[in-house]
Structure 1
Amino acid sequence: MNEQILSLYDLNSAIKNAVKGCLPDMYWIRTETSDVRENQNGHCYLEFIQKDDSNRNIIARGRASVWANTYRILKPYFESETSQPFVSGIKVLVLVSVEFHELYGFSLNVHNIDPSYTLGDQARNRALILKQLEEEGVLTLNKELQLPYVVNRIAVISSPTAAGYEDFCNQLENNKSGFVFYTKLFPAIMQGERTEESILLALDKINQYIDLFDAVVIIRGGGASSELSSFDSYLLATSSAQFPLPIITGIGHERDDTVLDIVAHTRCKTPTAVAEFLIAKNESVENELLFLQEQISYKTTQLLQNEAIRINNLTTHFSYLLKEQTKEQLSELAKITIRLKTASSHLLKEHEHALAVKAQYLELVSPENILKKGYTLTLKGNAIVKSAVDLTKGEQITTLFSDGKVISTIG
C-alpha cells in the first residue's frame, strides 16, 4: 500500500486548512433558522436550513453558532427592530464565516444580521394572510357583527397572572359610573410558541357557552413586543374573523396592527383601553336613555298643557253661544259646561295621579331606597348572591349597605 496514510485528525486539519484557504471571507446568506438553543454561557447554537420552492422539503442544512459576545448584541437588536423573537422558523439574512474544526466539524459562525430582510418577510407573510382571508370572504365578518345595546357580559382570554388582566379588571370594577360588568376568564398562554394553540382552545370553550356573553376580549399585558408573531397566524385570524361574537383586542402593541387586530371587531391598544371602551359604550347608552326620559317627560307635560288650552277654548266658545240661547237652553248648557269642566279637571287629575304613582314606584324599587330601609345586597365578585348554597368556605363576599360596604370571608 503506497498511498499516504493519515490519521483522522490529520485529515480534518487538512480540510480545515483547505476551507480556510478557499473560503477566507465572510458571506451574507439568506436562510431559515431551526433548532435555536441558548446555553448557560450565553452562546446560541442553531441550524440554518433551506427548503425547496414548495416549502416542504429541506434541500440544504448547516450547523451554526453565535458566540455570547455577539449574541448579547444581535438578539436584542433583531427583536427590537422586528418585534419578532429570535426563534426557530424565521427567515433571516445573516453574515457568516465558514469554520471547520478538527473535533466539531463544519459550522457557520454568525457575525451580523440584517433585520430589514426579516421585516420584509413578515410583511409579505402578513399581506398574504390578509389577501387569503379577503379572497375567502371572511376578512371583515367579525367587524360586521353588531355589538349588543348594553355590553356587560364579557368572556376574557388572557393569562391569569398578566398585569394587563389585573389592570383590565380593576378598570371595570372601579368605573365612576358604577356599571356592573360580569367577566369570565378563559386562561390562555399569551406569548411563546403555544400562544396560537392556547387562544384557539379558549375560543372553542367560549363557543360552547355563546349565549352567556355579549363579547370576547383578548388582552395581553406585560410581555415583550417581540412575542407578537403568534398573533399574525392565519388559523387564529380566520377563526377570530368567523367567531359569532364580537372580538375586542388589547394586546399591548402601539406601533403596528397584528393580523388578529385587523380582523377583530374593535382594536384597542392596551387592556386598560379595552376596559375604557366598554365603559364608554355603556355610558353612551345611559346618556341616550336619560335623553329619552327627558323627552317623554317633556312631551307628556306639553300634551297635558295643550289639552288644557283646548278645553279652555271650548269653554269660552260655549260661553259665547250661551248668550244666544233661551233661559232654558242656557240652564241646560250651563249644566253641560259644568260637566265638561268637571270631566276635564278629573281627566287632568287622573293623568297627574298616574304619573305621580309611577314616579313613587320607581323611587320605592330603586336599589338605593331598598338599602336605606335596612336591607343589604351581597355580591360574590360582580355577581349577586341569591342563595347560601352559592357560597363556599374561604370565598370573599361584599355586603352593600346604604352608607357603605363590608368585605367578608365565608368561614
Structure 2
Amino acid sequence: MSIIRTSVTTENILSVSQYLQIVNAVLREHVPSQEIVVEGEISGFTIKDGKWIIFDLKDENDPKAKVACFATTFKVTGVFENGMRARVFGYPAVKPWSTFQIDVQTMEPVGEGALKRAYEMLKKKLEAEGLFDQARKRGLPKFPDRIGLITSRDAAAYGDFLRILNNRWSGVEVLFAHVRVQGKEAVPEILAAFDAFNAMGEDERPDVLVLTRGGGSLEDLHAFNDEQVARAVYGSRIPVVVGVGHERDESLCDYVADIRASTPSNAAERVVPNRRDVESEVSMMARRVMDQMDSMLAERGLVVARATRAVGFLLDRERQRLAVATSRLTDGFSSWHTRIRDRVTGAERVLKQIDPKRVLSRGYAIVTSGGRVLSDASSIEVGGEIAVQLGRGAFDAEVLRKNGSGKQKLI
C-alpha cells in the first residue's frame, strides 16, 4: 500500500467554517431528502431562555452511543423529561462548536410508559393554565345549519358519524376536512383544518366543529394528545365537539373541547337533535297550546257571560235614568216654551201699542227735515222744507210762518 502525501499549499488549506460547510454538504448529499427518524432515550434535557431545547438521545443497547439534539419550543411542543423514550424527526448537521447533532423538526414520546408519562405531565400543565375550565365551555346551537367535520375519510368514524347524522337530522350541510388522524402528518393536517375553518367568513363558517376518530392505543391517539392540537381546540372561534373511539378512550382534546362525545356516533347525537323527538315535542307543544287555548276560551266565555249580564243591568239602569232625564227635559222645555211664548205675546202687545203707525192712524203726523224728526218749531226756519208722514200717505211742505211763543205758524 503506497501513501501519497500531497504538498500543502495555501490554496488547499481550509478554514474551520469552510471545513464545516464541506462536511454538512456531504451530509446533505448522502442523507435522504426527507427527515431522518432516530429513536432513543432522552438525557440531559434542558430548555434555555424559554425557547432553545437541548438534549442527548442515547442508545439503550450501547451506553456510549449518543447523539446531541437541538430544537426550539416553536417546533417541539408537549412535555418531555430525562429517561423518556422518544422518536426524533430531523436533519443531521455539524455545528461550528464541533458538535455533530440532529436539528430536530419535531419529536414524540415512544412506548406506553413514555406516552403515559407525557400525557399526564401535559394534562397537568394544560389544566393549570385553565384550558379545562367548565366556565369557558360554550353550548351548541340546537339546530345547526352547517357542521365542520375533521377526520379521515378512511376511518370508520367518518361513516359512523355521517350515518347517525343523516338518521337523526338529514339535510344539514357538512363541510369535510380530510386529515390523517395518526402518524407524523396528523398534527399539522389537523392544525391546518382548524385554521381553515376558523378563517372562513361569517356566512360560510360552520356552526360547530367535530373532531373525531376511532379508538386506539396511546400511541395511536398521540395527535389528539398533542399540545398544539389541544390549544387549537381551545382557541377555536367555533364550538368544538371531540369524539374519540370508545368510551374508555380519553384524549387531552376531550378535556379541552366544549362538548366531549364518548364515540363518533355519540358526537353526531350531540350536534343534532333526533327528528322524531323534535316532531314529538312539537306535537306535544301543539296539544299543550290547544289545551291552554280551550281553557282560556272557556274562561273568557265565563267572563263574557258575566260582562253581558252586567252590561244588561247597566243598560236597564241607564234606560231608567234616561227616561227620567227625558221626562224632566220635556217638562222643562214645555215650561220654558210657555214662558217664552208669554213674553213674546207681551212684547207684541207693547210693540203694537208703541207702533208709530198706530199713533199716526189717530191723526198724528211725523214731521222731518233733512231726515231729522222735528219735535220743536224752533228747529226749523221759515221757508224751510219739511216732510209730513200721516197715518195714510205723506207729503212735502214749506214753512210759511211759525207760531207759539210769538213765533210764526207752520202751514
Q: State the TM-score, normalized to the length of structure 2.
A: 0.49
Specify the structure having the higher radius of gyration (Cα): 2
* Structure number with higher helix proportion: 1
